[in-house]
Amino acid sequence: MTTVNENLIAKAIDQIDRDRLVQLVIDLTNIPSPTGYEGDMARAVHEVLEGSGFDATLQPIGDERYNAVGRLRGTGGGKSVMFNGHLDTSFGPEQAHRGIGYECKGTLIDDEWIYGMGTFNMKSAMATYVVATESIRKAGIRLGGDVVIAGVAGEIEKSPVNEFEGRKYQGYGVGTKFAITHGAVADFCILGEPTNMMLIPRHCGTTWLKITVPGHLIHTAWSDVDKNAINKSRVILDAIHEWIPDYVARNQLGDFRPRVNVSAIEGGWPWRGARTPDGCSIYMDVRTLPDALPVQAYNEVRDLVNEQIKAHPQLEGTKVDVFVSAPGTSIPDDHELVQTVIEAHSNQLGEAPKMGVETWYSDAAHMNRYGIPTVNYGSAGRIRTGGGGFSTHQGEHVHIGDMLDIIKVYIEILLRKCGVAD
């Protein structure tokens, strides 16, 4: 570990501006930025980065979408640290009727919680990155290594498929993959995803599959239930649901188990009930262990379907296609970035962070595969009424105290990894 004068860490922590943090979270939350429409959010983050002393760039990734990338240059000799965060939100403005946690409006409650679309995932993290860096600068401390903040478009788990195409379906890391191939590089990276201050050095991969069962298009008057594609697909669905528990049990990692989701079924025309469907499609999300590859999930499901075809000849012609193939990621527990986060968290919060594996997917997979060691570690994820995770009833919200705590940890990480200029 890099030796850093504890007085310098304390000096920077004393400069944390709570009001600045709260207002920044609210300001960013007030900007609608569903996947595909991150332009205004990117411009706002770019302006914030410029005002905070970063060399900032708007990276156009197409269709009026941008990344906002800033680099605060060190004096040299230290390691560089990137904070990466996505600009797009999990939900869109059409969800606002669900309550204040879904509105594109930052709302302060009891001077302790901030509600609004994107506060949880993950505009609050962007604010913590900025305030941590500003605190170091206000303390008059010059870092040796660079600090990079990358606000990226298109991270949310979405994908074009069939007639659903265009920018609002282009997620799964399009912004980060562009950023790290166009100058947003660093020695280490922290993603402030909503982990509730757990340290996540590994997460699952995901394979999205489309199983197409052929049918017989004909009028109801001459229809045969055994040839109906929807009815035929029941055989595949039953086989899938019998297979899921076995797949999960075979792929557990300690106490952790991946998940499988049958996410959609598509077949027929609801506006023409007098016709049988000429096909029925089953869509699946198969989560794979961090070090597994998408082709393994594809092969296993394809073999499962082929077994059903052999046993049920009416399924002849059924096919399996992959339309998302995203391998997971993992870095060792003894990696220097992991150990630095553990040490800084322990020093600032009095105990070591909990560590875990997550089923969700993040841009850490892309960062690690491009040689930038990355972990997920963020403050959001505590629920106001108790517990952790995300409350679909209350919507997105974050705790101000948790954000202030993680800023302290981020400050120590930056001082230790970047080093302090003489």
CATH number at residue 213: 3.30.70.360
Q: Domain count of the chain?
A: 2
Q: Which range marks the domain in which residue 214 is found?
A: 205-326
Residues 16, 132 within the same domain:
yes
Structure tokens at 267: 């077949």
Q: Is residue 1 part of a domain?
A: no
Same domain, 238 and 285: yes
Distance separating alpha carbons of residues 128 and 83, to the nearest angstrom = 10
Shared domain for 20 and 124, answered yes or no, is yes
Does residue 348 form part of some domain? yes
> Is the same domain home to 82 and 199?
yes
**Same domain, yes or no, for 337 and 404?**
yes
Q: pLDDT digit string (tens) for 345-378?
A: 999 999 999 999 999 999 999 999 999 999 999 9
Among 278, 305, 326, give the residue marking a domain's end. 326
Q: Are residues 218 and 360 located together in one domain of the fold?
A: no
**166: how many CB neighbours lie within 10 A of its CB?**
10
The whole-angstrom separation of Cα 120 and Cα 245 is 31
Residues 127 and 137 in one domain: yes
294 and 218, same structural domain? yes
CATH of the domain at 76: 3.40.630.10
2: confidence class by pLDDT, cuts 50, 70, 90? low
CA pair distance 211, 280, nearest whole angstrom? 8
Q: Report d(CA 391, CA 361) in Å as an integer.
A: 19
> Are 239 and 362 part of one and the same domain?
no
170 and 154 in a common domain: yes
Residue 134 lies in a domain: yes
Q: Are residues 209 and 275 in the same domain?
A: yes
pLDDT in tens, 81-137: 999 999 999 998 888 889 999 999 999 999 999 999 999 999 999 999 999 999 999
The structure's pTM equals: 0.95
Q: Is the peptide bond before 82 cis (omega within 30 degrees of 0)?
A: no
